[in-house]
Structure 1
Amino acid sequence: MGDSKKIKIGIIGGSGFDEPGLFENPVERVVSTPFGNPSDVLLEGVIKGVPCVILARHGRKHQFQPSDVNYRANIWALKEVGCTHVLATTATGSLHEDYQPGSLVIVDDFIDRTWGRKCTFYDRTEGGPKGVCHLPMSPAFCEVARSALSTAARARNYLCHYKGTVVTIQGPRFSSRAESLMHRQWGGHLVNMTTVPEVVLAKEAGLSYAAVALVTDYDCWRDNEKSVCVSDVLEAFAKNVKKAADVIVDAIQILAASTEHPYLAAHKELVTSAIMLKE
């Protein structure tokens, strides 16, 4: 049976959604979680008739570096306020000639090169879930949400790749040249600092999660090209972020157009089946 409840979509990233009138009736909401406080207040409102919640991953003042973001609190808070989906934006470097700066990528897999980040809710935190969750991560992202993003990008005729493996590094530094070349050899198409553990936690929370990556640079693997720097990343992101926002807004409409959402129940059932709990 399908799940006919109304959807509510969390948006992580937030940049590009400050257009007047786009986000209607915004209300700030402070949410605390068993895992601490999220990066910032949640901004609840409506985008073209669909209930949405925006959360700045790094805080609205960009005060949290990638390894210090409380990913668990962010995802838990979005679920706590009733989000069924999470659509995320992420700035990425390209590891592949064809994935040129200014293009979009609907990410479909990841390689985790982070360390020390809290990657599960199931760690005996007081107020958190019980047991140990051995969660399958293939597919890593919700295929329904990915399809909605892909359809939206095609309709806009934006330059977009509909698959891509992102290598998530620890940061906040960028890769060395040797690391960048290694990531290419591993089959990575993109490199960023935030997809993991965000995608893992969203799946563990039973949410539909997908991400649209905005390519800002070629990292440092290409010969005779200067290494990536913050100013170039920020300039490229600011120039093209509206594309990612357009795709997310259109994907929201696509997801909301369906009155049946059996995949949401399937996400939750997958988590339930992955939990080992001994009384």
Structure 2
Amino acid sequence: MLAIIGGSGLTQLAKLEVGQRKVVSTPYGEPSAALSFGHFAGRPVVFLARHGDQHSIPPHQVNYRANLWALAEARVLGIVAVAAVGSIRSDLRPGDLVLPDQIIDYTWGRPSTFHEGPGAVVAHIDFTEPYDQALRRRLLDAAATIGIRLGAAAVYAATQGPRLESAAEINRLERDGADVVGMTGMPEAALARELALPYAALNVVANYAAGRGDDRGGISLEAIHAVLAASMQQVHAIIEAMLRDDE
């Protein structure tokens, strides 16, 4: 069973035939929302809204540990995490889709491991390749099958939020090698790795980052919402095609 984590613009999965919504309790507290179990494209899936059903949880207050623990207990075989990002690269335009292949973590103060607390054993995960290659390949193949352009690589900069970045901060991220910027990629990806859950991120470019492209003079949140509303149809189509390929 595949898990879909929905971010900004994807608080529910259209065409998901929900069979059960399950409120889950974990050792790390409550997940962002109830888990929605059902079928999508004829395949079993579970959906979780990262920011809550009403998009009420800001990025720095998401209970990432509870979310990932709940999905692990549901025995999912992989996670596709959908998230909106800002583009630092000029060739990634609002409305484009991209699969990041690397992460730089700028977040702070977020509980970022399951291996802490009384009696915990020190554990180190290999994070050389943050995303599962097989799951990324399935998404790329699905997009190609239905003719949707999906970028195959990008360095994702995970910032703290909830505010957007300054133009100077974006310049710094570019110097560090980042291509896109978002607020939810970490510690989500690392926690999935700790639980040995295959994890891939599907990013929707919602806007140019601060000081770039059409957003040099400021970022319009209304424009972001409009881009996300249009692009999520492609996200649904890619996930549907990927699941149908499993038949």
Q: Mark yes or no: TM-score above 0.5.
A: yes
> Deviation string for 1:221-256 (max 9, x for gaps)?
3277322232222111111111112112222333x3
- 1:92 corresponds, among 77, 85, 88, to 85
* Paired residue type of 1:194: T
| Structure 2 unpaired stretches of 5+ | none
Q: CA deviation at 1:49?
A: 2.7
Is the 1:16–1:242 Cα contact (8 Å) retained in structure 2?
Answer: no
- Is residue 19 of structure 2 the alignment partner of residue 47 of structure 1? no
Aligned identity (percent) is: 34
- 2:231 corresponds, among 240, 259, 262, to 240
* Paired residue type of 1:104: L
- 1:137 corresponds, among 96, 120, 127, to 127
Q: CA deviation at 1:47?
A: 1.5
- Is residue 3 of structure 2 the alignment partner of residue 10 of structure 1? yes
Could you tell me how far apart the structure 2 residues matched to 1:97 and 1:85 are? 32
Is the 1:12–1:88 Cα contact (8 Å) retained in structure 2?
Answer: yes
* Paired residue type of 1:176: S
Is the 1:89–1:214 Cα contact (8 Å) retained in structure 2?
Answer: yes
Could you tell me how far apart the structure 2 residues matched to 1:252 and 1:125 are? 41
Query: Pairwise mapping of residues 62-211 of structure 1 onto structure 2 (< 5 A)?
Result: 62-124=55-117, 130-211=120-201
Is the 1:106–1:164 Cα contact (8 Å) retained in structure 2?
Answer: yes
Give 2:23's aligned residue: 30
Could you tell me how far apart the structure 1 residues matched to 2:27 and 2:152 are? 36
Report SS of the residue matched to 1:132.
coil
Bigger radius of gyration = 1
Give 1:265's aligned residue: none
Report SS of the residue matched to 2:186.
helix
Report SS of the residue matched to 2:70.
helix
> Deviation string for 1:186-215 (max 9, x for gaps)?
111100000001111111111010011000
Give 1:269's aligned residue: none
Give 2:218's aligned residue: 227
TM-score, normalization by structure 2: 0.93
Report SS of the residue matched to 1:248.
helix
* Paired residue type of 1:107: P
Could you tell me how far apart the structure 2 residues matched to 1:249 and 1:190 are? 25
Is the 2:87–2:93 Cα contact (8 Å) retained in structure 1?
Answer: yes
* Paired residue type of 1:137: F
Give 2:243's aligned residue: 252
**Matched length:** 244
Report SS of the residue matched to 1:212.
strand
| Structure 1 unpaired stretches of 5+ | 1-7, 258-279
TM-score, normalization by structure 1: 0.83
Is the 1:119–1:200 Cα contact (8 Å) retained in structure 2?
Answer: yes
Report SS of the residue matched to 1:194.
coil
Report SS of the residue matched to 2:172.
helix
